[in-house]
């Protein structure tokens, strides 16, 4: 069976735990062939983000053409998008080449707390990219930023946000509840007007660097390989939980370490 061809559109992370590096590792761990388009080069490690350099639009366009014109892409994962020009460029390419699945992780703030995207960038992601996504995977601060509303404080608050997020245009939403103060990590999958709750034990770890990237790329890898969106999201959630459980084996960095993307193998 031919592995699905997957594309990560994201920023870099030289420490290897987040962004495009996390995406490619996750694609590989879950049986996909990873390709990449870099939107920004970051100086970043487990302790924070030191510098961000967005790629020139012409180079992003050429990268997109290089990949799409040569390789049939089954699913795309979009991560960091710094400005409207980048968002418009990505939308134009996706509408032209029409990959089967598009997963959007609206990255705005790194786990270290460093802001990656300003208000104009948030508006660009909301207005340009969210409407063409098959799945968006915001955490609670990202959902609040997309809707310009207060941060949800409970599972009921999360449920109240789902119709408004859906009105932005995505086909499905995975609203992640990791920021809630609760013994379990509850995410809500919203699709075709129905809500499905995904529960997992809350892992006592600080190794959360790149966890959002990893979950979104796991969904991207599994969508072409599973019979339904629900099945792909459930398996991605399990993969992410196990990657956090095994993360202490890596001992990477002095800050928020990465998840263990290859926990199944070593």
Which of 75-84, 103-112, 138-147, 170-179 bottoms out in mean pLDDT, i.e. has the lowest? 103-112
Does the pLDDT value for residue 110 go beyond 70?
no
Domain range 5-249, CATH class: alpha beta
User: Are 216 and 129 a contacting pair, CB within 8 Å?
Assistant: no
Q: Phi and psi at residue 220, in whole multiples of 5°?
A: -60, -45
Q: Tell me the average pLDDT across 182-195.
A: 91
Does the pLDDT value for residue 260 go beyond 90?
yes
User: In angstroms, rounded to a whole number, what is the distance separating the alpha carbons of residues 141 and 132?
Assistant: 21
Mean per-residue pLDDT over the chain, rounded: 94
Residue range 1-14, pLDDT digits in tens: 799 999 999 999 99
Q: Tell me the average pLDDT across 61-71.
A: 98
Q: Which two tokens stand for residue 174?
A: 């995975």
Contacts of 167 (CB under 8 A, 6+ apart): none
Q: Which two tokens stand for residue 172?
A: 């499905």
Q: For residue 113, what pLDDT is reported?
A: 62
Per DSSP, the chain holds a count of helices (H) and strands (E) of 8, 9
**Domain extent listing, the chain:** 5-249
């Amino acid at each position: 069976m031919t592995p699905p061809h997957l594309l990560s559109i994201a920023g870099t992370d030289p420490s290897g735990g987040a962004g495009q590096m996390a995406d490619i590792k996750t694609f590989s761990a879950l049986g996909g062939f990873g390709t990449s388009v870099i939107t920004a080069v970051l100086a970043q490690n487990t302790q924070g983000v030191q510098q961000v350099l967005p790629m020139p639009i012409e180079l992003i366009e050429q990268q997109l053409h290089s990949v799409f014109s040569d390789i049939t892409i089954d699913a795309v994962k979009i991560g960091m998008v710094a400005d409207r020009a980048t968002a418009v460029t990505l939308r134009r390419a996706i509408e032209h080449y029409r990959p089967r699945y598009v997963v959007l992780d609206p990255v705005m703030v790194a786990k270290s707390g460093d802001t990656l995207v300003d208000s104009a960038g948030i508006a660009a992601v909301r207005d340009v990219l969210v409407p063409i996504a098959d799945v968006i995977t915001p955490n609670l601060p990202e959902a609040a930023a997309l809707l310009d509303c207060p941060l949800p404080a409970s599972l009921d608050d999360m449920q109240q946000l789902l119709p408004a997020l859906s009105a932005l245009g995505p086909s499905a939403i995975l609203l992640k509840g990791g920021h809630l103060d609760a013994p379990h990590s509850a995410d809500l999958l919203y699709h075709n007007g129905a809500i499905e709750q995904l529960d997992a034990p809350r892992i006592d770890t600080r190794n959360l660097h790149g966890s959002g990237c990893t979950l979104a790329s796991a969904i991207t890898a599994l969508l072409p390989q599973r019979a339904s969106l629900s099945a792909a999201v459930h398996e991605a959630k399990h993969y992410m939980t196990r990657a956090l459980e095994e993360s202490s084996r890596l001992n990477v960095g002095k800050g928020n370490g990465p998840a263990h993307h290859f926990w199944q193998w070593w």
